Amino acid sequence: MIRVYPDPETASHAAARSVVRWAGEAIEDHGSFGLALAGGSTPRRLYELLATDYSTEIPWRHVHLYWGDERCVPPDDDRSNYGMVRTVLLDHVPVPPAGVHRIRGELGPERAAAEYERVLAQAISLDLVLLGMGTDGHTASLFPGQLDLTDPRTVRGVSAPAGVEPRDRVTLTLRGLEAFTAALFLVTGREKRDVVEAARSTAPSAEIPASCVSPARETTWIVDRAAAGETV
Ligand code: 6PG
């Protein structure tokens, strides 16, 4: 399902409302909400909204946060996906420390991936994974040309293509992403227009890793008009 909003701000609000709805349903159904967060710049506003306008609508003490991918840098590095979430969201909402399951990228790709595979295996519930998409169709740190559709692992260390910094990363695999009940992509901007069009119009293709994510219940794409290719 794709939902188109006028601009990044209204798309971010729509994504925040989806997170609130999923949190409520998951907690009512099984007492906890397992949410995986995306890196990159697009979801920053969504995290700000969750920390402000929507913060009282989420029962944070029942929330467990995971990450779809991480760069192999220390948590206080500017490029850390966890670090961004800490500054924008975690410092402002009462998620218990036991509910924050970060990928320890500083251990290096292989050790951090092995550790995080155990973390995911112990999760109480994996409900919603938030994802973004790069202009090349990558999602989390699953890059075109590197996608192994049959990888039995849920997490792996990867080296991003040359030019994508930092290159050393840890990512959930397709299997790891699809361990979540649902996926929510948030994609905005004119520069993503062609790849959004390609992801929507072709059958799942390893050349567009984002098109291959297909969790049990649903995949929703929230995009702005520019990314949808509509005239703005
Ligand atoms: C990361 C991501 C990555 C991101 C896309 C889009 O850690 O880099 O998780 O998959 O979502 O690269 O990034 P932007 O939102 O910055 O375009």
Query: pLDDT tens digits, residue range 70-97?
Result: 999 999 999 999 999 999 999 999 999 9
- Evaluate if residue 200 carries a pLDDT over 90: no
Secondary structure (3-state) at 229 = coil
Query: 168 vs 215, which has greater pLDDT?
Result: 168
Residue among 41, 42, 44, 211 whose CB has most ligand 1 atoms within 8 A, to mutate: 42
Average pLDDT, the chain: 96
Q: How far apart are CA 194 and CA 53, in angstroms?
A: 32
CB 140 within 8 A of CB 131: yes
> What separation in Å is there between the alpha carbon of 135 and the centre of ligand 1?
9
Question: pLDDT at position 95, please?
Answer: 97
Secondary structure (3-state) at 103 = coil
> What separation in Å is there between the alpha carbon of 127 and the centre of ligand 1?
20
Q: Which atom of ligand 1 is nearest to the CA of 142?
A: 10
Question: In the structure encoding, which two tokens stand for residue 146, read together?
Answer: 């590197």
